[in-house]
Chains A and B, each alone.
Chain A
């Protein structure tokens, strides 16, 4: 018998304490133990009341997603067995909730007769954000506890809320102020309840809202506008059963059936996988063993859009920031950009004027080497040019205090070499922020061959302090994200060379779920950025195929900033128009390079796979080369940094969903269709390895083949 729930009788109260660190997830052993303890309490004549509480930081964090596939629904189940045990127990069952009650944890509390909360406790049903919906009574009992509209909002958003928001509803029999001994208060409360009859059950309450039909219709209708998750519509239907006369037990059964159905769908599996992958990124054994250095003052050198965005993030996290740029004109633009970031937060109501002023006061414009006085971290965000960065790094190394960490925001350069221009290569790290830095949650933490574990640990801790998700990448041209995107846009360009329009390719990929098609993205970023990388490669690897994209750049069609690129961008017009001169350019290029036209009848799915499988093949190579540690790291980079749909899990997860046999089959076809780039479609060894051994790609690690 597991001891995941401890059992102790105090003054006639059976105290059942969930004890499965760190957050008392409802794993199989905990459920078995809880179920057994409930039976013991039921049969013990000296027990007059049952008190369920949680050991540690929280009451209960809900299901363990890592164990979800294997034992999440095994008996004794929460939705059926434990629920029924409490309902039929005949003695009052009190939940004493502190810290947090999330998902199944909240549903467990909803099954109890009484709920006592510690002030400041958070609650929520986050299931919807994982692609499914509550399955153990949440959709049926929460509306009965807090009302239809509040429950609808909580379930459909998946957000967490403070119990204080619902203090005067049936969700809370009492809220105990912080400062009062919660354990004692809970025991006293349970004693008080022991004689009360009849025992209140949420299932016996009616949802009373005269506007129920209108509310539900409004919620359903508004899902149609791109809001919502895969389970949103089903959740509304489930909640509707609280008011449409469906018998409670029938509604519970239906809730569970729908929950199971949703949970097995690809979108939900993808979202669960993403959740777990995110929880694993930025973790490194060596770094974990080393301690992170505290950071108080930082210098940001290069005050363009990226530099000022990073300065904003640092200041928001409480660091003092010295900001500088060689170009004096940058100063005004930088502070304007910081003000616009501030204005956004003010508008969202997450920052008040006092906090905004404090943030402002932490960013100081400095000149010359005073910038580096007394800093713990120097971060460069200057032009993506090796010599420029090398020169700057030497300067930083010369004037920054010896202990300071030097971070480069390079997105592609050889950081192993750059680190060696300094006398502190062990403390030179890459921090590749994404633009706009104040909004994008991802940072690639580039680990050079020389990086010390403490420096890596410091860099990872900094990212977390900034509220960013760090993913560790090794050194190569483009690291994880940009090296892969290069291959993806290259294939998109190959389609254009074959006569498919950028608008069609963008539309196909956006329907697939990409936040932005490749050509809209390129025009936004600027076509000169990847061009610089290509020119570098053309020089170092003679003989590789050039691209139609080069011709655009040669003409100065750099995208939005020049008014013309893959599209034409008229000032004041949101939607880009077709570039009328592009077809002529493509035709000339295709003739010159002897490129066969692509049959315009090609289906959109093939267009999508041509681009997405380029990500897959390159991703597999990154794992082989050890640039990325885990397939999940790659997928997190893509969903968080490149607008890859989270409901598809990421490129590597997508490959498994599509079936590796199909991935390899399509890659052979693509190789035959584009002889200039046939070598690219040579399957990465890891892909073949995974296919041949019938193991998933998305669980692969960099050492998978050894």
Chain B
């Protein structure tokens, strides 16, 4: 097996869905932008890419028709460069990296671009709902179609996570992300994007197209406190999950360039880290938030690592309600978990988050002198995914 390395990473800042900077930007353009810049950072010509793998949770509409292929072309890749779109919902951006890594490891390719794209603004409310559910499966296992917020409330109840604890975690995520942004710790990953957005004048109702540069994550609110979050009504009646302790809808794209270690060495490419392994595992759909608790042990088992060997954890903040019990059951120390905040603050464009977190773990890990990082997330329908990265010294 070939060792697989990550050479470069690039992402857009994450914009609030519907009201944010990417509310009229085509997701193909977002994807093209980050692939283009990841390749520049890697110092590779688009023509050298042997495959482009992009993850997307809702690969239809504006992110349909094999969006990865369109993204590759938008990035300037010649028509000879192939591409595939992959979905495993919220882990799609990590799954795309896993596929790229596997292909490189068994020698099928030397240079693959992996990434994720999601435009919740342009896709989610336009979804094709025809026969969205199979009534027979629903009859047998209704939780497979349970809305995500509801699964988080189930987890909160079953694992005893109070509203107060969730709100405190939400505020912490905001404060950590704000501090990271302030210190410029997202600067190396974000590529600003000039675009136009739509706004509506509150008073006149007039819709206007305005020029914007999206250069920073829009969801970060430094003034957030647990008290303020506590005043937000829950999403579901009687529940504890609320805006403020759950991830934000957002739009964006992220990409990374992966090669074989041999190729990187031969071409003198800068190595960010080494892909050490990947695991996925299933669980009960109604507690999908606990996915990491099933995937991480599997990952550690087959990579031969222990929890204590992991220096840095990126555990996707779908909901504070699931982060907290995952942290407890996986025994993750607070000062190694989501050190620069997570999706509650920066936003969660589903298919992007895996690539974003891997990229951030590599850059932040290098800054901290960490050696091993785990990127993990829960997945709708009841799954967890986890990847082990070794940070280049």
Residues on A lying within 8 angstroms of B by beta carbon are 149, 152-153, 156-157, 159, 211, 214-215, 217-219, 221-222, 227-228, 348
Contacts and interface: CB of A to CB of B under 8 A. Distances in A.
Given A221-B18, A222-B200, A214 B205 contact: no
Given A211-B196, A211-B209, A217-B125, 12 more contacts: A149-B207, A156-B205, A157-B206, A214-B23, A214-B24, A215-B24, A215-B207, A217-B122, A218-B200, A218-B207, A222-B207, A228-B205
Nearest to B206: A153
B66 to A, nearest CB: 19
B198 interface: yes
B129 interface: no
B207 A211 contact: no
Interface in B127-145: none
A23 B209 CA distance: 36
A348 B204 CA distance: 10
A227 B205 contact: yes
Contacts of A149: 207, 209
B227 interface: no
B346 to A, nearest CB: 23
Give the top 10 A-B pairs by smallest Cβ distance, nearest first.
Answer: A214-B24, A218-B198, A153-B206, A222-B200, A227-B205, A211-B24, A157-B205, A153-B207, A219-B207, A149-B209
A143 to B, nearest CB: 13
A218 B125 contact: no
Max chain B Cβ within 10 angstroms of own Cβ: one of A215, A218, A348: A218
Contacts of A214: 23-24, 122, 198
B366 to A, nearest CB: 38
Given A149-B209, A211-B209, A214-B198, A157 B122 contact: no
B198 A215 contact: yes
Nearest to B62: A213
A270 to B, nearest CB: 21
8 contacts: A156-B205, A157-B205, A211-B209, A214-B122, A215-B198, A217-B125, A219-B207, A227-B205
Contacts of B200: 218, 222
A218 B125 CA distance: 11
B126 interface: yes
Interface string B183-205: 00000000000001010100111
A157 B125 CA distance: 24
A240 to B, nearest CB: 13
Contacts of A211: 24, 196, 209
A348 B207 contact: no
B32 to A, nearest CB: 15
A211 B196 CA distance: 10
Nearest to B199: A218
Contacts of B23: 214, 218
Contacts of B122: 214, 217
A149 B18 CA distance: 17
A609 to B, nearest CB: 29
Nearest to B24: A214
Interface string B206-219: 11010000000000
Contacts of B24: 211, 214-215, 218
B129 to A, nearest CB: 16
A215 B200 CA distance: 11
Contact of B204 (A152, A157, A215, A222): A157
Contacts of A156: 205
Contacts of B205: 156-157, 222, 227-228
Contact of B125 (A152, A221, A228, A348): A221
Interface of B: 18, 23-24, 122, 125-126, 196, 198, 200, 203-207, 209
Nearest to B209: A149
A343 to B, nearest CB: 15
A217 B17 CA distance: 13
Nearest to B26: A214
B196 A348 contact: no
Given A214-B23, A214-B24, A218-B24, A348 B203 contact: yes
A159 B206 CA distance: 10
A573 B122 CA distance: 35
B378 to A, nearest CB: 28
B280 to A, nearest CB: 34
Contacts of B206: 153, 157
Given A214-B24, A218-B24, A152 B207 contact: yes
Contacts of A157: 204-206
A157 B23 CA distance: 22
A684 B206 CA distance: 46
A574 to B, nearest CB: 11
A282 to B, nearest CB: 28
Nearest to B18: A221
A211 B126 CA distance: 16
Nearest to B25: A214
A348 B201 CA distance: 11
Contacts of A159: 204
Contacts of A217: 122, 125-126
Contacts of A152: 207
A239 to B, nearest CB: 12
Contacts of A215: 24, 198, 207, 209
Nearest to B202: A227
A348 B209 CA distance: 20
Nearest to A158: B205
A222 B18 CA distance: 9
A221 to B, nearest CB: 6
A217 B61 CA distance: 13
A132 B77 CA distance: 50
Contacts of A222: 200, 205, 207
Nearest to B233: A575
Nearest to A575: B233
A157 to B, nearest CB: 6
Nearest to A156: B205
Contacts of B207: 149, 152-153, 215, 218-219, 222
Contacts of B198: 214-215, 218
Contacts of B18: 221
A252 B152 CA distance: 49
B206 to A, nearest CB: 5
Contacts of B209: 149, 211, 215
Nearest to B125: A221
A221 B120 CA distance: 13
A333 B78 CA distance: 72
Contacts of A221: 18, 125
A212 to B, nearest CB: 10
A56 B23 CA distance: 47
A227 B205 CA distance: 8
A674 B200 CA distance: 49
A475 to B, nearest CB: 39
Contacts of B203: 348
A683 to B, nearest CB: 42
Contacts of B196: 211
A438 B177 CA distance: 45
Nearest to B196: A211
A419 to B, nearest CB: 42
Contacts of B204: 157, 159
A288 B18 CA distance: 54
B328 to A, nearest CB: 35
B230 to A, nearest CB: 14
Nearest to B23: A218
A381 to B, nearest CB: 29
Contacts of A227: 205
Nearest to B204: A157
Max chain A Cβ within 10 angstroms of own Cβ: one of B126, B196, B203, B206: B206
A88 B130 CA distance: 44
Nearest to A153: B206
Max chain B Cβ within 10 angstroms of own Cβ: one of A211, A215, A217, A348: A217
